[in-house]
């Protein structure tokens, strides 16, 4: 008789566990965020927000519809980075090459940019987020440039996440611009040619106050960096996902960071050297 309760319990448990599985009732699971090693987060994440136009086309919509929907992804990922304590998030919003797109699309993007910044600046301040812009701002329409400058001024004292918008930006433009300024300083006697080092060169870049990105993410399945932060991405880990930007959410970001945390960053050294350094530190 003593064995019967155990048998009844097993039958009961088997029946209800199968019911849970059959009806797909909510089960306890670990979020990707919970799997992150918070001690090994990248300080700086850079993202090429690609796929807005294709996302819209797949839904029978105009390209601008995709850009509008992509704004929600910007909000979502900015919030995620702030929650994790990421120091810098750089978003490739508009390249110098994008000026060659159809006029209606360029004008629509500029209008969207103005409205988004105007509507979001209070939220940025509330969440202690500081806004930066890198790129040739002189190419931006007057109203757009004014809105960006005012937003940067209003958030300049914030000490949380640094949100960097790459607008009218290209890495080749940035590198050429740095070379011109260095040459001018050498010509004016302010700088000796021998003093031009990688560290010195970095001071002439748009990102002079920012650490290099450790992780670069590109959405929508394209596997190239499209003239984005060429100097700064020298040792960044690159992550490509098929997810279109309007569909990119926090879980996708966590997945990218988890992938980053599985990689061994050697900076030209061997695996043995890296392991020896870690043993010395520990």
H or E segment at 8?
Answer: helix 4-22
User: Among residues 98, 127, 158, 227, which one is catalytic?
Assistant: 98
Residue 94: which of 61, 59, 128, 139 has the closest Cα? 139
Of residues 44, 40, 62, 63, the one with CA closest to residue 52: 63
Greatest Cα pair distance, the chain, in angstroms, is: 100
Q: CB-based contacts of 148: which residues, under 8 Å, 6+ apart?
A: 117, 131, 133, 137, 140, 165, 167
Distance CA 142, CA 154 (A): 18
124-to-92, 128, 169 alpha-carbon distances in Å: 18, 6, 22
Burial class (CB in 10 A: 0-12, 13-18, 19+), 238: middle
Q: Is 185 one of the annotated active-site residues of the chain? A: no
Residues in CB range of 8: below 8 A, 6 or more apart: none
Where would I find the beta strands (DSSP E) of 96-233?
130-134, 162-169, 215-218
Q: Is 21 a catalytic residue?
A: no
Question: Count of alpha carbons within 13 Å of 175, Cβ hemisphere only?
Answer: 10
Contacts of 275 (CB under 8 A, 6+ apart): none
- For residues 227 and 84, give the distance between their C-alpha atoms in angstroms, rounded to a whole number: 28
Residue 125, CB-side half-sphere exposure with 13 Å CA sphere: 14
Exactly one of 18, 21, 34, 50 is catalytic; which is it?
50
Residues with catalytic function: 50, 98
């Amino acid at each position: 008789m003593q064995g019967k309760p155990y048998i009844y319990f097993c039958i009961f448990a088997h029946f209800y566990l199968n019911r849970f599985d059959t009806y797909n009732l909510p089960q306890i699971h670990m979020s990707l965020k919970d799997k992150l090693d918070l001690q090994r987060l990248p300080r700086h994440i850079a993202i090429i927000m690609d796929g807005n136009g294709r996302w819209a086309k797949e839904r029978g919509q105009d390209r601008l519809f995709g850009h509008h929907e992509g704004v929600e992804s910007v909000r979502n990922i900015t919030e995620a980075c702030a929650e994790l304590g990421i120091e810098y998030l750089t978003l490739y919003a508009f390249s110098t090459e994008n000026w060659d797109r159809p006029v209606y699309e360029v004008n629509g993007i500029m209008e969207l940019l103005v409205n988004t910044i105007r509507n979001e600046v209070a939220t940025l301040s509330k969440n202690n987020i500081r806004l930066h812009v890198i790129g040739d701002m002189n190419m931006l329409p007057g109203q757009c440039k004014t809105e960006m400058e005012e937003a940067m001024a209003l958030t300049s004292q914030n000490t949380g996440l640094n949100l960097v918008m790459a607008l009218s930006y290209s890495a080749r433009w940035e590198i050429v611009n740095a070379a011109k300024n260095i040459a001018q300083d050498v010509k004016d006697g302010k700088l000796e040619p021998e003093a031009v080092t990688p560290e010195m060169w970095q001071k002439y870049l748009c990102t002079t106050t920012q650490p290099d990105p450790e992780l670069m993410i590109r959405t929508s399945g394209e596997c190239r960096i499209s003239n984005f932060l060429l100097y700064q991405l020298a040792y960044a880990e690159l992550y490509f996902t098929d997810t279109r930007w309007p569909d990119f959410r926090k879980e996708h970001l966590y997945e990218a960071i988890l992938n980053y945390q599985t990689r061994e960053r050697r900076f030209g050294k061997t695996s043995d050297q890296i392991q020896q350094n870690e043993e010395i530190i520990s």
